[in-house]
Amino acid sequence: MRKVVFKGTLLPLLLIAPQIVITVVFFYWPASQAVWQSFLIQDAFGTTTEFVWLENYQVLFKDPGYYNAMGVTAVFSIAVAVLSLGLALLLAVMADKQIKGAGFYKTMLMWPYAVAPAIAGVLWLFMFQPSLGVLAQVLRGWGLDWNPLLNGRHAMILVIMAAAWKQISYNFLFFLAGLQSIPKSLIEAAAIDGAGPRRRFWTVIFPLLSPTAFFLLVVNIVYVFFDTFGIIDAVTHGGPAKATETMVYKVFQDGRLGGDLGGSNAQSVILMALVIALTAIQFKYIERRVHY
């Protein structure tokens, strides 16, 4: 392979400049503004601001509602990540087989990725709406008093299903690409040695698929913490009784609707730090088990 060598630094800098500008404008600048504003308090009319140092953080950590949002986020993130990754892997394994109509099967599985999160939430809300939803009527026929508008557990199940369904397509694409990149000779050699389908998967296929699984784990954690806002806002608005109020939705609830801009910025800073810490932990401990 021919190696490309640049004679100076100007051309490489020009090539990466657009990406650097986009990163600075859309990430570092808003993040720095959030950090600065988390140390401020505005009056009710937004005309004056006062520097209060860590008071917003102190008030935040004394708020029981914030700890409730952290607990809801933990349950929601684990459930969505496990469900979306598990189902996507199962579907990718099935699609990787030589089956009739595989092209149509793969295309249909990819479609949900094109649906916006808010639209995905509305679709699931229509299906499980207590009085008009088709699937809600089926559940009532089975004797289950389904009502996500009043029952917090039902609401959590609904947003978990909607968020997982939205992310399955993305995970499916990467799992399928990873499966198709595994040399068939390795699988055939394991079969000749007498390994059954289950043993071949766990001893040959899954270890070779671990880099893809690790990448998707990191992406799915970020997705659950941030990109599921539209689903929750469209389906439950954080209710009932804050049963589905995640950390990112509480930032919006307190800042946009409650007018507490300093407190909401403090929440966003903590949320950003938490996601960075979780990603670092995954790279430090989980990546050790990845086989490249």
Lowest-confidence pick of 18-22, 45-49, 154-158? 45-49
Average pLDDT of the chain is 86
Whole-number pLDDT of residue 290: 67
Strand partners, 51: 40
Whole-number pLDDT of residue 74: 92
pLDDT at 241 > cutoff 80: yes
Structure tokens at 104: 């149509």
Structure tokens at 93: 């394994």
Cα dihedral 28/34/38/40 (nearest 10): 110
Whole-number pLDDT of residue 1: 54
Buried/exposed 38-75: b ≥16 CB within 10 Å, e otherwise: bbbbeeeeeeeeeeeeebbbebbeeeeebeebeebbee
| pLDDT band at residue 254 under the 50/70/90 scheme | confident
Which tens digits make up the pLDDT trace of 79-111? 999 999 999 999 888 888 766 666 777 777 778
Which tens digits make up the pLDDT trace of 27-68? 889 888 888 988 888 776 667 778 888 888 998 889 898 999
Whole-number pLDDT of residue 99: 66
Whole-number pLDDT of residue 137: 87
Whole-number pLDDT of residue 46: 65
pLDDT at 252 > cutoff 80: yes
3-state class of 246 per DSSP?
Answer: coil
